[in-house]
Amino acid sequence: MTLKVMTVYGTRPEAIKVAPVVKALEACPDFESTTVVTGQHREMLDQVNAIFGIVPDHDLDVFAHGQTLNSIMAKVFDRLDPVLVQERPDAVVVQGDTSTVAAASIAAFYRQIPVVHIEAGLRSGDISSPFPEEANRKLTSQVTALHLAPTSTSRDNLVREDIDAATIAVTGNTVIDALLHTVEQQIPFTDARLAEAERSGRSVMLVTTHRRENWGGAMEGVGRALKALAQRYPEQLLVLPAHRNPIVREAVLPYLMGLGNVVVTEPLAYGEFTRLMAASKIVLTDSGGVQEEAPSLGKPVLVMRENTERPEAVDAGTVRLIGTDEQRIVDEVSRLMDDDSHYASMANAVNPYGDGRAAERSVAAMRQLFGLGERIADFA
């Protein structure tokens, strides 16, 4: 008997992080894998599916420019429910903490379908930051049958919230599976400016920003800080693959006009983005996934947030939380640029988030959920 496992996802980072699990489910004879994209993201989601060769079985097509949190939630509830009724999956798999995840997990719970949560147990401890992700993760944990925690820290967070330890497996983060697989392929740059920077060996600082709680004044401060840094270090190339959100672009991009050592790109295909990360001297970001990937490539990461639900690489010394104050961003980047010993102290390759076997552990834990086998030893 095969069991039907339905993976529901909606944004770029979810697509990257579920891809290894979807592939592992497809390869497991116990399971029939079905995929549903909510389409919370559009171009940024489709790009990742294309790279990993995943053609979703259902597309809820909820995307709208200027979508609100409530409109995403309402559409996902409304459009996922008939698919759950039609497909009658034995389990629904979700990943992370987006609006797609909160809505899909609750929708599955309401249909009494067991929920499997990948990347369970991350906590910043502040319900308003990251917003609304901290709430989304906690809501999802309440309705989850199998919690796939990436690290022992995230497992401990769940246990502290009275979640039964027997329902938690520590798998490592599936992003490391995706990263290792992709870096290995050595996909070349299609953007001529990036190819030239690589050829010339020019020093690169990679920047990404999109966090909702930074929208507005904080993000404009990021734009001003980037301008100041581009002017202070003219030999350095600043590369900003810009999130598609117009709110982000309108806040940051005006400050970067006319600067010869700043390259703004559309969202990069995952293979090119990881290549760029590996070639960069410094990574400046507010992204969750980039905080997990860059440390394993040995890159110092400055995180433009006040807190993080990913403390492991901070503890290892490779990631530093610097907030969004404009002057602080300039000072912290300058310190990495000017102080070689400080740079060396942060440029350590650490792998606290995974060993490339997270998808395998996730599928083994799902088999155990259905009484079909044993788990693999937890990621340590």
Integer Cα distance of 93 and 105 in angstroms: 8
Taking the complex as a whole, the smallest distance from the CB of residue 52 to ligand UDP amounts, in Å, to 11
Taking the complex as a whole, the smallest distance from the CB of residue 321 to ligand UD1 amounts, in Å, to 17
Task: Indicate which single residue of 241, 300, 352, 354 sits in contact with ligand UDP (rule: CB under 6 A).
Answer: 241
Choose, from 14, 97, 309, 326, the residue flagged as catalytic: 97
Are the C-beta atoms of 105 and 94 separated by less than 8 Å? yes
Task: Tell me the sheet residues that pair with 169.
Answer: 148
- Tokens 């409109």, residue? 71
Residues 141-200 that bind ligand UDP (CB under 6 A): 175
Taking the complex as a whole, the smallest distance from the CB of residue 291 to ligand UDP amounts, in Å, to 8
244 binds, options ligand UDP, ligand UD1, none, Cβ within 5 to 8 A by partner type: ligand UD1
Which residue, 48, 157, 143, is CA-closest to 92?
143
Nearer residue to ligand UD1 within complex by CB, 115 or 365: 115
Which residues contact ligand UD1 (rule: CB under 6 A)? Answer: 11-13, 40-45, 65-67, 69, 98-99, 132-133, 210, 212, 244-246
152 binds, options ligand UD1, ligand UDP, none, Cβ within 5 to 8 A by partner type: none
Q: Is-catalytic flag, 97?
A: yes
Are the C-beta atoms of 59 and 30 separated by less than 8 Å? no
Task: Tell me the sheet residues that pair with 149.
Answer: 170
Task: Indicate which single residue of 63, 189, 255, 273 sits in contact with ligand UDP (rule: CB under 6 A).
Answer: 273
Task: Indicate which single residue of 58, 210, 305, 361 sits in contact with ligand UDP (rule: CB under 6 A).
Answer: 210
Integer Cα distance of 25 and 244 in angstroms: 31
Integer Cα distance of 295 and 315 in angstroms: 12
Are the C-beta atoms of 7 and 18 separated by less than 8 Å? yes
Q: Is-catalytic flag, 147?
A: no
Taking the complex as a whole, the smallest distance from the CB of residue 150 to ligand UD1 amounts, in Å, to 16
Neighbours of 109 (CB within 10 A): 17
Nearer residue to ligand UD1 within complex by CB, 134 or 360: 134
Integer Cα distance of 380 and 152 in angstroms: 7
Q: Is-catalytic flag, 181?
A: no
Choose, from 14, 119, 177, 326, the residue flagged as catalytic: 119
Q: Looking at this protein, which amino acid is placed at residue 127?
A: I
Taking the complex as a whole, the smallest distance from the CB of residue 153 to ligand UDP amounts, in Å, to 18
Are the C-beta atoms of 278 and 349 separated by less than 8 Å? no
Active site residues: 97, 119, 133, 210, 212, 243
